[in-house]
């Protein structure tokens, strides 16, 4: 089968009307459609996503979801360990340390999401800890502020 190029408008298809090509390339490579992925080429108007073979309709839907989820921001190059260190370096009490350790034990997927740089999913796990009352709002705020992509209220 021939190679396929799928083109997206940066202004109309990406949610912030911008792309970080390196970050988007990594997001596609981390997805379930990475096996046939060749790379991303973007100019100021369009983003071309190249595959070694023609993509199935299901893979095109997955790619569309990746585009819709891409924030276009410059990535944070801290490791999972560095993010966790930054969180624990900003705790305000021994009680908070205890709650955070309990939350890590209760929601190990948080660390997995940090390692995969899936900060949106890491935030969801932190929200689940808040809902389950494993952490309190101050803990949530502390963690959220240390995760890449934090937007001050």
151 falls in which pLDDT band (50, 70, 90)?
low
Domain ranges across the chain:
4-69, 80-146
Looking at the DSSP bridge assignments, the partners of residue 46 are 9
Tens of pLDDT along 41-62? Answer: 999 999 999 999 999 999 999 9
What single DSSP character describes residue 35?
G
Q: 4 near 54, Cβ under 8 Å?
A: yes
- Give yes or no for a contact between 125 and 109, defined as CB atoms under 8 angstroms apart: yes
- Read off the pLDDT of residues 85-127 as tens digits, 9 standing for 90 and up: 999 999 999 999 999 999 999 999 999 888 888 888 899 999 9
* Short-list 127, 123, 145, CA closest to 135: 127
- Neighbouring C-beta atoms of residue 63, cutoff 10 Å: 19
Which candidate, 47, 54, 5, places its Cα nearest to that of 23? Answer: 47
Please state whether the predicted TM-score (pTM) of the whole model is above 0.85: no
Q: Does 5 score more than 70 pLDDT?
A: yes
Q: Are 126 and 146 in contact (CB under 8 A)?
A: no
Q: How far apart (Å, rounded) are the C-alpha atoms in residues 135 and 112?
A: 19
């Amino acid at each position: 089968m021939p190679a396929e190029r799928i083109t997206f408008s940066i202004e109309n298809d990406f949610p912030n009307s911008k792309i970080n090509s390196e970050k988007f390339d990594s997001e596609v490579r981390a997805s379930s459609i990475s096996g046939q992925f060749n790379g991303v080429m973007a100019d100021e108007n369009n983003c071309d996503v190249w595959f070694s073979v023609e993509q199935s309709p299901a893979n095109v839907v997955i790619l569309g979801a990746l585009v819709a989820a891409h924030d276009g921001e410059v990535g944070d190059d801290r490791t999972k360990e560095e993010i966790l260190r930054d969180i624990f370096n900003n705790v305000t009490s021994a009680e908070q340390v205890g709650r955070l350790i309990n939350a890590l034990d209760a929601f190990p997927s948080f660390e997995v999401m940090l390692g995969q740089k899936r900060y949106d999913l890491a935030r969801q796990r932190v929200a689940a800890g808040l809902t389950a009352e494993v952490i309190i709002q101050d803990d949530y705020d502390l963690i959220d502020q240390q995760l890449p992509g934090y937007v001050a209220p």
